[in-house]
Structure formats: structure tokens, C-alpha cells
Amino acid sequence: MQSLLFQAEKNGVSFSPFTEIKSVEFNLGSFKVSSILNHDNSLEDYKFECNQFVNCAGIDAQQLSSHIKGVSKEHIPRLYLCKGDYFTYSGPSPFEHLIYPIPEANHMGLGIHSTVDIGGQTRFGPDATYVEELNYNIDASKGQRIFQAIQKYFPGIDNSKLHPAYAGIRPKIAGPGEPAADFQIHGADIHGVSGLVQLFGIEPSRINIQPRHW
């Protein structure tokens, strides 16, 4: 990631983490963006203009869209939060490759799969549960359910080696009981604002993941 950031900045990209956009106003072919920069807990107002604006804020895309003047609420799909917990497996990895079971019938998630991080640590997850708020606390009581799901392709799993790790929340645009919905890309043909592109329901599995602190 550091290498990608270096290449991006080398080609003129300005990376500004911990930035909150307060409003975006489109006027005479230009976007006027008002934001707040957070530098070591020191807040600074920052305004800039641009000819094109891409809203790819993931889990915050709907909220950001509501701050863009000229975009009607009817063109902002409803956001549903879908949380997944991960569990790590202590000891040597039992596998030499990734394992993805058949996806869940309700299309909420890909099932409890097995991956290995760059440190060689095996992890299982995520499950998929709709939630009402951004809460990254891990529900350790899920351990038995996670264990039973893993047993289907790893009968020899040792339950005592499963440990809660971290959680992630994905932005979905289909709620509980609704048919699965793909992500959406909105251009001016939908919302009517030239130069504005909005991405909703983009579901990278690690978006907004917060490590578990013990």
C-alpha cells in the first residue's frame, strides 16, 4: 500500500486521510468542496475546487451524497450495514491455499472461508449479520456457529484454537429478506450533475475493519 501511495503522490495525487467533507456545491461547471482536515487532533478548515468529483466513500457514500447540493434524495439508495466477524486459528496453518465454500443461499455473504495473512496466520470468516449501527465489537458467542461452519470442509478443526480477531462492516443496498443487489454507479444520466460520479454498495470485505484490542 505504501508503494501504491508513493506512486500516486508522485503523479500528483494529494492523500488527505482524516478529512471530513462538510458540503459540496456544483456551480458553473465546478465543484466547491468545503472540508475539515484533522492534523493530530488539530482541526483546519480547507476549501478547494475541482471539475470532477467522485464519491467512492464506501460505507459513508450515502452520507456524503446527502451533502452534495443538487443531488435529489431519490437518487441516494438506502444503506444497509452488514457486519462480519473474523476468527484466527492459532498454530501452523492447516492449509496451503485459500478455501471458499459455496456462498450463502441468501447472498448476504460468501460463507465462512479460510485465508492466510502475510504473517502466515490462518483466519476464518466472515459471517454476515445485518446491524443498525457501526459497532466493531466481536461477538465471541458466535464461536460455536463459526466452528460448525468450518467443520464442513475441515473436520479436524480444533475448537480450542479458534479466537475472536476483528470485525468488518460492508455497505449493502439490499436489506434483510430482499433479493441480492449489485453495486451501483451513478453518473449525470441518473442524478443530473455533470462531472459527478457516485458509487454505492461497493463491498470490499475489509472496509472499515477495526482491529480487536485485548
pLDDT, one tens digit per residue, over 97-112 is 899 988 766 566 778 9
CA 125 → CA 101, 122, 208, distances in Å? 11, 10, 16
| All CATH 3.50.50.60 domain ranges in the chain, comma separated | 2-77+181-203
On average, the pLDDT of the chain sits at 89
Name the least confident of 4-8, 66-70, 204-208: 204-208
Rg of the chain on CA atoms, in Å? 20
What pLDDT does residue 210 have? 43
Is residue 206 predicted with pLDDT exceeding 50? no
CB atoms within 10 A of CB 96: 6
- Which amino acid, residue 145? R
Report percent pLDDT > 70 for the chain.
93
pTM: 0.84
The CATH number assigned to the domain with range 2-77+181-203 reads: 3.50.50.60
Cβ–Cβ < 8 Å for 191, 75: yes
Chain-centre distance of CA 111, in angstroms? 17
Q: Where in the chain is the domain with CATH 3.30.9.10?
A: 80-172
* 80-172 placed in CATH 3.40.1260.10: no
Residue 177: per-residue pLDDT = 87
DSSP state of 87: E
**Is the Cα torsion angle 122, 138, 59, 41 positive or negative in sign?**
negative
Burial 122-151 (b: 16+ CB within 10 A, else e): bbbbbbbbeeeeeeeebeeebbeebbebbe
**DSSP-derived 3-state class of residue 98:** coil
Sign of the alpha-carbon dihedral angle for 93, 95, 98, 101: negative
